[in-house]
């Protein structure tokens, strides 16, 4: 993969390993600042050209294709290092594993240029260099009000290695969730496609023809009219666990968008925590595994619900 980069455009020349990939998926993987949907928009607006011609997002890549990307303005300028406290679970020359607190956005976006995990990482690890800039490599995200484990790449090779695992769905991601209602069985799988809600653009929903999504759950504890679940993700769609729990009529306690409050305890956010993360380390090529205890706000809520049953 050869790469030429000046301030506002990037030229990608397709080598053997990328042949046959979809154009939009490939560009989004190469330029981690751009989401897949923003890449698709750039393609539709002819800001991404294949061999100097407009093209389609699903176009399969051929050997030697020249993909030129006109970057949207100010992809870089909004990124400011900020001295924000971070809980670092693990750091080495290739990766950083952090515990993201509830309330923190992972990546700067319109309306959230500051105070994000990326801003904090740039302060704590100023030598991170991904995509030709001083920035961390975001491999996966967690919703703003979900807490828990996230791995970040410190350089391009680590990012590509981790993104390949993400695409192959070989990372293990385990969450703990407290949901409304008693579950009739002890374990199950929710397999239902997810896309933007047809009427409310801020929400996701189960939509026929959406992107495939699979969530596995098992019961950890039954607490009166609530159930504590351990959830493992097979895919990582936006809001996946929250949407899927609502879909099977067991919405997450405290979720302002897809759930509800449950008597007597005011939870400020959804009861959802990424408690375990496993992947193959990009340098050692051996499996690593990290765990994170339930944060104080969720522990307090759980203690309250147990007492009041």
At 218-233, the pLDDT tens digits run: 999 999 999 999 999 9
Strand 194-196 and strand 147-153: the pairing is unpaired
The pLDDT of residue 271 is 97
Q: What pLDDT, on the 0 to 100 scale, is given for residue 101? A: 96
For residues 98 and 117, is the Cβ–Cβ distance under 8 A? yes
pLDDT score recorded for residue 134: 67
Instruction: Give me the residues of the chain with pLDDT under 50, please.
Output: 74-77
- Residue 8 contacts residue 71 (beta carbons within 8 Å): yes
**CATH fold match for the domains 2-70 and 172-276+288-307:** no
Q: What is the mean pLDDT of the chain?
A: 89
pLDDT at 76 (0 to 100): 47
Task: List active site positions.
Answer: 143
Domain spans in the chain, listed from the N-terminal domain onward? 2-70, 87-168, 172-276+288-307
Q: Which fold has domain 2-70?
A: 3.10.290
Q: What is the pLDDT of residues 128-143, one digit of tens each?
A: 888 767 678 888 999 9
Q: How far apart are CA 45 and CA 29, in angstroms?
A: 19
Q: What is the pLDDT of residue 214?
A: 95
Closest among 301, 297, 303 to 146, alpha carbons compared: 297
The per-residue pLDDT for 244 is 97
**Measured between alpha carbons, how far is 252 from 246 in angstroms, rounded to an integer?**
7
Position 231 scores a pLDDT of 98
Position 167 scores a pLDDT of 85
Do β-strands 147-153 and 66-70 pair in parallel, antiparallel, or remain unpaired?
Answer: unpaired
CATH topology for 172-276+288-307?
Pseudouridine synthase (3.30.2350)
Count Cβ atoms below 10 Å from residue 300 Cβ, excluding itself.
Answer: 13
Cα distances (angstroms) measured from residue 232 to each of 149, 179, 262, 273: 13, 15, 24, 12
Which architecture does CATH list for 87-168? Answer: 2-Layer Sandwich (3.30)
Locate all alpha helices (DSSP H) within the chain, ordered by sequence: 23-30, 36-44, 117-124, 156-167, 240-247, 296-307
Residue 73 neighbours by CB under 8 Å, 6+ apart: 8
Please state the pTM of the whole predicted model: 0.75
């Amino acid at each position: 993969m050869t790469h030429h980069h000046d301030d506002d455009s990037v030229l990608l020349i397709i080598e053997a390993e990328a042949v046959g990939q979809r154009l939009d998926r490939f560009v989004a993987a190469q330029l981690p600042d751009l989401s897949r949907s923003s890449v698709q928009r750039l393609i539709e607006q002819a800001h991404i050209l294949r061999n100097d011609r407009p093209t389609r997002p699903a176009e399969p890549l051929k050997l030697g294709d020249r993909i030129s990307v006109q970057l949207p303005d100010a992809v870089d300028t909004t990124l400011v290092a900020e001295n924000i406290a971070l809980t670092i679970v693990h750091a080495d020359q290739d990766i950083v594993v952090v515990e993201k607190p509830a309330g923190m956005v992972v990546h700067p976006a319109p309306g959230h240029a500051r105070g994000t995990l990326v801003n904090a990482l740039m302060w704590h690890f100023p030598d991170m260099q991904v995509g030709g800039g001083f920035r961390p490599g975001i491999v996966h995200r967690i919703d703003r009000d979900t807490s828990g484990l996230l791995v970040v790449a410190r350089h391009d090779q680590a990012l590509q290695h981790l993104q390949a695992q993400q695409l192959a769905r070989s990372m293990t991601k385990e969450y703990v969730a407290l949901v409304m209602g008693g579950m009739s069985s002890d374990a199950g799988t929710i397999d239902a496609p997810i896309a933007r809600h047809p009427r409310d653009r801020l929400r996701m929903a189960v939509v026929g023809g959406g992107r495939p999504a699979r969530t596995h759950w098992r019961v950890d504890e039954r607490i009166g009219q609530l159930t504590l679940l351990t959830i493992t993700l097979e895919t990582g769609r936006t809001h996946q666990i929250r949407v899927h729990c609502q879909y099977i009529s067991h919405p997450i306690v405290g979720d302002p968008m897809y759930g509800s409050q449950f008597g007597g305890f005011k939870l400020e956010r959804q009861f959802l925590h990424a408690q375990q993360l496993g992947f193959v380390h990009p340098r050692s090529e051996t499996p690593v595994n990290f765990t994170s205890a339930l944060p104080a706000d969720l522990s307090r809520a759980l203690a309250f619900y147990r007492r009041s049953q």
